[in-house]
Structure 1
């Protein structure tokens, strides 16, 4: 079978032939119909997180059950499904409460274990395979590009009232879903980006206010449309400048959720010039139950999923475009 294998920063990503895997006890073999391309893949290829190589990348998968290992009797071959990629050890306290993705990042699909940029992928536990009738090309990005923003917005929603303001920074592959979930909270949604087309998309997806950061600072724009500043901010970029801009735009007891892995940091200290008693936290993917929620919303037609299908032949070039910001919504590998 074909697989996109990362051989380290020097050799990079190579599409090559490898043996088709077979499922062991409790495992499921998925015939991959689609796998999303993610900015986090680029971080792996840049060596930001050292992983064993060669490694098949890809953690946003949808397809059909091809075979099951001993002990799996509830998934029939041919079942359409998505794969939850935040694999955990399965037996620690975090996993047993349903937050497998918080167990150990080195267990995740496409990082600690071979992922789904391939014709087939073995899923280590059948609980990570969720049946769905959604078109697999649209379903694949839901497993991360939609799931992670869903978790971020859900965490923010616990501290929001309909009269509050939620700031979304970065309207890319994840931010586009962040705007949609934010609009479902009933709060005022403010979306910020430097790309006019992405801001127009944000408005179409439910943003009440958009900020072109090339024309106006996030802080001044937010202060213009609120009394005290934003009540919560979700940063899908994660660079020093965007994190600081979010902090400056927050009001009293505002909350900052860091999703983007742009390498930035936010210093939380006494500063009388910004909101007092701020809270800052990061967001790691989402849970299996939250993925079920996302699938329910998609099946109900409540999500706008924009995808660009690409084949193995265009895979490396598409990652180059992704790094240059030249992918409008979400690129998805569709094996020919």
Structure 2
């Protein structure tokens, strides 16, 4: 098998040959057919995660079951599958209430154990989500994260309702899908981006108001609040890995509103307690998604409600993993998809 390995933070990935993987009890080897290149992979390469090195990145994946370990049922060799990237115990206090993304013994594919920038990946059987034979596995791959992540934030964390105003800061791989998920849920969407092309995409995906973030930060906040109307926006989704934009999102949220932080940044930003108290506003982190989020966005995609064409325009072989990471970091793409 082939794998792209990160040996040190800030370094290029090495493409290496490794022995074929052997599944143990309750494990499955999946032949990777597609793996999305996500902002989290760029964050990993920079050293943003306390990872285990060397590591094979890649967590946004789909493929075909290649080999099955003892004790595995419900799936057969040759079955097409989506992969859930969080290894979870199924028994702790978080797992027992369905919050498996917050498992107390969590291990993440591509961070704590080898991921899907490879021709094969070894995963726990409980992380396998069967899909339909007619599903496009490149589309399945990006749905598992780029779409399921904002879906989780809007549906599970914020419980958004039709008619709410939702502001989305950043129209990248996550933010563009926050726009279309919010629009599908019947929300009035305000999109914020520095890029005219990305604002145009946001409009195509359902945004009603477009705000250019190329202006002064204070002007951006005022434009958002003016567009949202009296009281300000009830939901603000922050998908940019920037402390400056974190602060803008908090400043923009309306009375009784919620800020949903999805974009990862290790830099601090300032916030005054009085600004939250006076508005009775709250700030929530939203961490990934749960398996049911994947199942639900897959169903919405099959029905034609959610699209992923904007995520599939740049597909590369595994040997170009470094170029795919560079493209994403430079903002040249919303997503690249590696096809081993």
TM-score when normalising by structure 1: 0.93
- Quick check: 1:46 aligned with 2:46? yes
Partner of 1:219: 221
Residue deviations 1:85-143 (CA, integer Å, cap 9, x gap): 1222333122233322212586010111111111111112x221111122011110111
Rounded to whole Å, the distance in 1 between the matches of 2:163 and 2:297 is 25
Tell me which moved more, 148-157 or 170-179: 148-157
Partner of 1:297: 300
Rounded to whole Å, the distance in 1 between the matches of 2:193 and 2:105 is 29
Partner of 2:79: 79
* Kept after mapping to 2: 8 A contact 1:243/1:264: no
Partner of 2:142: 141
Question: Any gaps of 5 or more consecutive residues in structure 2?
Answer: none
SS in 1 for 2:146: coil
In structure 2, relative to structure 1, the CA distance for the partners of 1:176 and 1:103 (3 Å cut) is: same
Rounded to whole Å, the distance in 2 between the matches of 1:180 and 1:334 is 26
Partner of 2:174: 174
Rounded to whole Å, the distance in 2 between the matches of 1:44 and 1:238 is 13
Partner of 1:231: 234
- Quick check: 1:310 aligned with 2:313? no
In structure 2, relative to structure 1, the CA distance for the partners of 1:213 and 1:274 (3 Å cut) is: farther
SS in 2 for 1:313: helix
* Kept after mapping to 2: 8 A contact 1:105/1:111: no
* Kept after mapping to 2: 8 A contact 1:106/1:112: no
Rounded to whole Å, the distance in 2 between the matches of 1:318 and 1:210 is 28
Partner of 1:320: 326
Query: How far did residue 30 of structure 1 move?
Result: 0.4
Query: How far did residue 271 of structure 1 move?
Result: 4.0
1:49-60 matches, within 5 Å, as 49-60=49-60
Tell me which moved more, 275-284 or 200-209: 275-284
1:75-224 matches, within 5 Å, as 75-103=75-103, 107-124=107-124, 126-133=125-132, 134-155=135-156, 157-158=158-159, 160-215=160-215, 217-224=219-226
* Kept after mapping to 2: 8 A contact 1:30/1:63: yes
SS in 2 for 1:16: strand
Query: How far did residue 155 of structure 1 move?
Result: 3.8
In structure 2, relative to structure 1, the CA distance for the partners of 1:318 and 1:222 (3 Å cut) is: same
Q: 1:330 aligns with which of 313, 316, 335?
A: 335
Tell me which moved more, 236-245 or 273-282: 273-282
SS in 2 for 1:206: coil
Question: Any gaps of 5 or more consecutive residues in structure 1?
Answer: none
In structure 2, relative to structure 1, the CA distance for the partners of 1:10 and 1:215 (3 Å cut) is: closer
Residue deviations 1:54-88 (CA, integer Å, cap 9, x gap): 11111011011111111112111111110011222
* Kept after mapping to 1: 8 A contact 2:158/2:258: no
Partner of 1:30: 30
Query: How far did residue 177 of structure 1 move?
Result: 0.8
